[in-house]
Structure 1
Amino acid sequence: MGILNKMFGDKSNKETKPEKKSYLNWLPLTTIEQLEEIKNVSNTEAVLIFKHSTRCGISSMVIKQFEKLFTEEHQKLKVYYLDLLNYRDVSDEVGYKFQVMHQSPQLIVVKNGVSVHDAAQYDITQANLTRFI
């Protein structure tokens, strides 16, 4: 088995990679009533809403890249996760309340009750999160 272990690797002796600490604490957005809370909280701090389609390959890639943007300095940002397929009514109300056209995936930043930034698809991965702290 020595030669096979060298060729395919001996998993029993391999050290496991340390798990990367996540600084992103998702808050589930599941009700229309939460939008009023988001609007109120946004008077003192920026609130982010990430609209995600669980059936979309682009959305799946973008959410992984978005999570990697978060560092220790971003850990206090409030970030809501909206599964727009399961909560279509909430997604529709987000667009109406914050005057943004629906896109997927989409990042909306709310400050002082209004959308101050929105990005869709791969543009989300270019967001400078530090400016929203």
Structure 2
Amino acid sequence: MTLVKIETEEQFNELVKEDSFLLFKHSLTCPVSAEAFTEYQRYIDEHNDVKTAYLAIQEARPLSAYIAEIFDVKHQSPQAIYFKDGKPAWNDSHWRITVTSLEDAVGK
């Protein structure tokens, strides 16, 4: 599956209508985020049936704040959030974002 970049509340709200999806919040300037993004990309390459999207914090700060506020998930960067049935079912950040942690969270 192609990595889909989102930048607006409208794009995000369309994703929330899905049964489930994985969201990655990425900082373009943080080396830890770059490592976590590589793990996220490896996961997506290995599990291309998982609906996914990412946002770049520097380019979509209002969207990142909106997600944190609406779903009461403290903003972190990098951060992975797995949404199921319209709400966060799991989230983690920094070095804890690995192929294995994503597989465990999503169940594949």
Q: Gapped runs of 5+ residues in structure 2? A: none
Q: Which runs of 4+ in 1 moved over 4 A?
A: none
Question: When you count helix as a share of all residues, which structure comes out higher?
Answer: 2
Structure-2 change in CA distance of 1:131 and 1:61 (3 Å): closer
Q: Which has the higher contact order (CA 8 A, sep 6+)?
A: 2
Where does 1:115-130 land on structure 2 (aligned, <5 Å)?
115-125=88-98, 126-129=100-103
C-alpha distance in 1 between matches for 2:96 and 2:104: 16
Deviations 1:82-116 (A, max 9, x none): 00111100110111222200001000011111100
**Alpha-carbon deviation of 1:131?**
5.5
1:13 alignment counterpart = none
Partner of 1:35: 12
Q: CA RMSD in A?
A: 1.8
Count of aligned pairs? 106
Larger CA Rg, structure 1 vs 2: 1
Q: What is the CA-CA distance between 1:71 and the residue it aligns to?
A: 5.0
TM-score, scaled to structure 1: 0.72
| Alignment equivalent of 2:80, drawn from 107, 111, 126 | 107
Indicate the residue corresponding to 2:2 in structure 1.
Answer: 25
TM-score (norm 2): 0.87
Measured after TM superposition, the shift of residue 48 of structure 1 is 0.7
Of 26, 29, 32, the residue aligned with 1:52 is 26
Matched residues, percent identical?
28
Deviations 1:43-73 (A, max 9, x none): x2x211100000001101111122223454x
